[in-house]
Structure 1
Amino acid sequence: MSIKNAITACALLFAALANTAFAELTTEQEAAKTRGIILYNQYKAISAAPFLRIAAEAGDHEAQYYLGESLRRKKHYMNPEARKWYEASAAQGDLYAMIQLGRSKKDFCTFSNDCPPDQKPPIEWLNQAKHMAMPKAIQGDAEAMYVMYELTFDEEWLEKSAVAGNALAQYWMGIGYQEGEGFFLPWRRAKAIEKCFKASAESGYPKSMMEYAAILFEKGDIEGFRHWNEQAALAGYASTVYGYGSDLAHQPDTYGFPFDIIKGYALIYSLRELDGGGGILDLAERKLQKISDTMTPEQIAEAKEFAKTWKATHAPLSFFPDKLSR
């Protein structure tokens, strides 16, 4: 799979079940939505909310969903404003919004015992999502099959989605096999795990790229390990950008990456924008100090310019959190 195709596949994670998401938005509203989702995927839910609100108020169901997510995560429970945006998204057929409404156990109004009388119970949202997803799943829609898995936790739907090519389903199948699910002879389990992660990696999912890379490393395929590390970094996976940059700067030189201290410093430097969650900022700052100790001021200046170019020409940094957060 080409680098361009891998990045494109990762970008599709931002547009699940939103075939016409941008059609009704102005250029400015589209830009705000994109910026909001980028920030959300960098664990900056509070910073994301104002951007998402612009597109949500314009009627975009995906922006409404992510705004609901941002507001819920900020409060750590289903609060009235979050519910408002989930319901607006669900009213447009967004299955993810229906699922979150159906899973809400900590609704603020239940604590105060003043829920609106017309507020739909969680089970009704789940039943509505099933009613909408089932026909698509039966027709072979890979994402609808995955949604059915989230709704029912029936492993058969997860397997069907994975077989149909859903990268996220393939990833979770691999994780499940790693944790002992399924019945295999030991050597067949290992092959099944590798098959799942390889398929998901080739579909562009960065977390699977790193799982598959680790398998290749254990098998002694260091070149394959380096390849998938680079692919995950090109896709913007923040954790791998850190590792890849460190490897290029030979801080340390563990996997035989070619020495490129300018690019290595630049990649670590680019992580300084991740000042939300994820816990990577402190690591990046310490690594930058180690790398800069071996560089001239001119090299550091060149690396900072390289970082600007990289950001402008590559996928945005992301931790790739699951769209259906808990």
Structure 2
Amino acid sequence: MMKIRKIGEAWIYFLLLTACISANAAIPIEKKKAKDTGIELYNQFKAISAVPYLRIAAEGGDDDAQYYLGEAIRKNKRYIDEEAQQAYQAAARQGNVYAMIRLTQVDSDLCTAMSNCPKSEKTPKEWLELAKSTASMGASQKNGESMYLMYELSGDKAWLKKSAENNFPLAQYLLATDYKEGSGFFLSPSGRADEVERWMKASAEGGYPRGMTHFAAVLYDRKDLEGFRKWTEKAAETGYAEGIFGYGYYLSGKYPEYGFPVDLVKSYALLSLLLELDGGGTAKDDAEYVLPKIKEKMTPLQIVEAEKMSSVWKASHPPLSFFPFKLSR
């Protein structure tokens, strides 16, 4: 009897332990899901809707979620309130340089004009020094993102170039854009154009959606229509709202000189995806303007096919995003 009881107790303990482990394993999964949903909504300019999800992940200690929670609240209220401040500070304590940078900017925040800025653990100057030392440490280890953050902190474009050279796609895009807008010294216009193309290509190949659309434009200017079409489609496949609108619109037969095949079903399917982007930006308005014109050319069966295709695309591709800069520019 004793042996049977011991076996029974051991089995009960095993079941309880298994249940506990399973419950603990589910917590990070739920918080990860909340974080992903929150950032997805934030990137669709739906900051108000993002806050509850980001709170869940932030409470679990995720520094990226804490930073985005601060950003979502700040954008909703247009100033840094107590909750946003706490979220930024929680992220900063974990070494999040983006949050540290936000905390250095409180003097220029609307809360200063309103005289209601929450009390901070450190002064803006102290946060700045901590941000610089943290980013500098990462930069010394050849981390491209840390080099980009050094550029944001210092304004020194040498850091932007170093970041680009160390394969940070955002820096490559910004460097190419900077050159295109006239920055830097080049012996000839063609030399400038070559550098713009070089860095925009690197950004596109690094997976940055803005880089993809701009590299497509570079290729169009060079009369490389095949390359233009390729990168236009690739940008759409990332979920980039601008890329989806461009690709979908071209498939409708608009601008036949670009060489896209006319595919009304796919055009309608892609453009209708943008109707859910009601948090801001012009994507939804643009789609609402062109969709009726495309629909006029379609049969009822084609519309049904397009609706099915839209659902399949949404399930098999990254979520829609405007890909806003992580540090608002």
Give the TM-score, by structure 1 length.
0.89
The range that moved more, 251-260 or 150-159, is 251-260
Please tell me whether the aligned partners of residues 101 and 128 of structure 2 are also in contact (alpha carbons under 8 angstroms). Answer: yes
CA distance in 2, matches of 1:140, 1:315: 29
Q: Which residue of 2 aligns with 1:77?
A: 79
Question: CA, structure 1 residues 68+25, in 2 after alignment: closer, same or farther (shift >3 Å)?
Answer: farther
Q: Which residue of 1 aligns with 2:297?
A: 294
Please tell me whether the aligned partners of residues 248 and 260 of structure 1 are also in contact (alpha carbons under 8 angstroms). Answer: yes
Aligned amino acid, residue 288 of structure 1: L
Question: CA, structure 1 residues 120+264, in 2 after alignment: closer, same or farther (shift >3 Å)?
Answer: same
Q: Which residue of 1 aligns with 2:70?
A: 68
Any residues of structure 2 matched to 1:10-25 within 5 Å, and which? none
Please tell me whether the aligned partners of residues 81 and 118 of structure 2 are also in contact (alpha carbons under 8 angstroms). Answer: no
Larger Rg: 2
What runs of 5+ residues in structure 2 fail to find an aligned partner? 1-24
CA distance in 1, matches of 2:309, 2:284: 19
**Displacement of 1:131 after TM fit?**
1.0
Please tell me whether the aligned partners of residues 236 and 244 of structure 2 are also in contact (alpha carbons under 8 angstroms). Answer: yes
Question: CA, structure 1 residues 80+113, in 2 after alignment: closer, same or farther (shift >3 Å)?
Answer: closer
**Displacement of 1:92 after TM fit?**
1.2
Aligned amino acid, residue 150 of structure 1: E
Partner of residue 200 from structure 2, selected from 191, 197, 218: 197
**Displacement of 1:111 after TM fit?**
3.1
Q: Which residue of 2 aligns with 1:3?
A: none
**Displacement of 1:293 after TM fit?**
0.4
SS of 1:26 mapped into structure 2: helix
Partner of residue 318 from structure 1, selected from 317, 321, 324: 321
CA distance in 2, matches of 1:166, 1:299: 42
1:211 pairs with 2:235: no
Q: Which residue of 1 aligns with 2:57?
A: 55
**Displacement of 1:52 after TM fit?**
0.8
CA distance in 2, matches of 1:165, 1:248: 33
CA distance in 2, matches of 1:63, 1:253: 44
Any residues of structure 2 matched to 1:115-264 within 5 Å, and which? 115-116=118-119, 119-185=121-187, 186-264=189-267
Greater share of residues in helix: 2
**Displacement of 1:77 after TM fit?**
1.6
**Displacement of 1:112 after TM fit?**
2.8
Runs of 4+ with deviation above 4 angstroms: none
Question: CA, structure 1 residues 126+24, in 2 after alignment: closer, same or farther (shift >3 Å)?
Answer: farther
CA distance in 1, matches of 2:27, 2:169: 28
For this pair of structures, how many residues does the alignment match? 303
Give the TM-score, by structure 2 length.
0.88
Instruction: Give CA-to-partner distance per residue, 1:40-59, whole Å, 9 cap, x none.
Output: 11111111111111111111
Q: Which residue of 2 aligns with 1:13?
A: none
Aligned amino acid, residue 79 of structure 1: D
SS of 1:47 mapped into structure 2: helix
Percent identity, please.
52
SS of 1:196 mapped into structure 2: helix
Q: Which residue of 2 aligns with 1:111?
A: 114
**Displacement of 1:119 after TM fit?**
3.8
Please tell me whether the aligned partners of residues 239 and 321 of structure 2 are also in contact (alpha carbons under 8 angstroms). Answer: yes
**Displacement of 1:110 after TM fit?**
6.4
Any residues of structure 2 matched to 1:258-277 within 5 Å, and which? 258-277=261-280
Bigger RCO of structures 1 and 2 (CA < 8 A, at least 6 apart): 1
**Displacement of 1:107 after TM fit?**
5.5
Aligned amino acid, residue 158 of structure 1: L
Aligned amino acid, residue 82 of structure 1: A
The range that moved more, 137-146 or 105-114, is 105-114
**Displacement of 1:260 after TM fit?**
1.4
CA distance in 2, matches of 1:24, 1:62: 20
Please tell me whether the aligned partners of residues 79 and 107 of structure 1 are also in contact (alpha carbons under 8 angstroms). Answer: no
Aligned amino acid, residue 70 of structure 1: A
Aligned amino acid, residue 68 of structure 1: G
**Displacement of 1:106 after TM fit?**
1.7
